[in-house]
Structure 1
């Protein structure tokens, strides 16, 4: 049993996705390469849309990875100005994205407030119906 689990784990590790960065794209300086990889991990592939350009094999992603390595510092602003905020996997906080960042908190507060209002309205109301005359007589006999 343990061997099967170990084999399954090893097979899962072998099937893990590899980065799409080609050897010809890698910078000679390890510090600059690490910076370029960090920047490219923040940018969404406009073809795949669910991957960063660091993970994507699309031609546009390759072009953007090369652009990141050429321009380094100002590349995020340049790419955002060209493709819009959507290209960022983690959008910046601004007036345009305020609702995006605040929506989860607003939804939790609205849900909690509605539960509170619902509970308060129900607390003062009786939950059952009045006893009939026959049921009242039966109850009186039982309590004697």
Structure 2
């Protein structure tokens, strides 16, 4: 019995979720806190990846918020804070990464993909366009007139009396 209880407690310990992040402590200076909150919106949570650290419940997001507040309290500029985060986590940490050689694909990849898809659709549409049929010759016109005249005289074998 004790052994089963011990195994259950150990299993719960292994499956336990990430500990709750420490509560945010706003900066005492309202202007600095406003700067920090503005930066939070531009910084991506490295765990959630689609959320800003301002909205993320992840523990690392809380650590990143604390780091941003510490750096702002130390007198660093917004750009210095961003540069430090990029140094630690890479360009991915910013929702608007800088335009440089390594980020060209991030900036222009979607536009290039749309242009390639549009060119492909245009190519397929032009390829499928039916060729215009040439006009009938005089002999073909005469043959068509003869066929149509025969059809007007010849009754349809499947026609009902009301169709005549």
- Normalising to structure 1: TM-score of the pair? 0.64
Cα deviation for residue 138 of structure 1 reads 6.8
Q: Does 1:26 align with 2:32?
A: no
Cα deviation for residue 68 of structure 1 reads 0.8
Aligned residues: 116
Q: Does the Cα contact within 8 Å between 1:21 and 1:54 map onto a contact in 2?
A: no
Q: Does 1:83 align with 2:92?
A: no
Pairing of 1:10-89 with structure 2 (within 5 A) = 22=23, 25-72=25-72, 73=77, 74-89=80-95
Aligned to 1:103: 109
In 2, Cα distance between equivalents of 1:77 and 1:85: 9
- Aligned in 2, Cα 1:81/1:140: closer, same or farther, shift over 3 Å? farther
SS at match of 2:88: helix
Larger Rg: 1 or 2? 2
Please say which of residues 59-68 and 118-127 is displaced more in the overlay: 118-127
Q: Does 1:120 align with 2:130?
A: no
In 2, Cα distance between equivalents of 1:125 and 1:21: 71
- Normalising to structure 2: TM-score of the pair? 0.58
- Aligned in 2, Cα 1:139/1:39: closer, same or farther, shift over 3 Å? farther
- Aligned in 2, Cα 1:117/1:46: closer, same or farther, shift over 3 Å? closer
Cα deviation for residue 34 of structure 1 reads 1.3
Coordinate RMSD, CA, aligned: 3.0
In 2, Cα distance between equivalents of 1:55 and 1:35: 16
In 1, Cα distance between equivalents of 2:32 and 2:149: 87
